[in-house]
Amino acid sequence: MKPIMWVGILLVVLGALAIAYQGFNYTHQEKILDVGPIHATAEEHDRVSIPPVLGGLALVAGIALLVVGAKKNS
Q: Render pLDDT for 23-73 as a digit per residue (tens, 0 to 9).
A: 899 999 999 888 888 889 999 999 999 999 999 999 999 999 999 988 877
Question: SS3 letters for the chain?
Answer: CCHHHHHHHHHHHHHHHHHHHCEEEEEEEEEEEEECCEEEEEEEEEEEECCHHHHHHHHHHHHHHHHHHHHHHC
Q: With 80 as the cut, is the pLDDT of residue 3 above it?
A: yes
The confidence score (pLDDT) of residue 25 equals 93
Domain ranges of the chain: 3-73
pTM beyond 0.85, yes or no: no
- Between CA 5 and CA 7, with CA 6 as vertex, the angle to 5 degrees is 90
Contact 33, 59 (CB under 8 A): no
pLDDT score of 70: 86
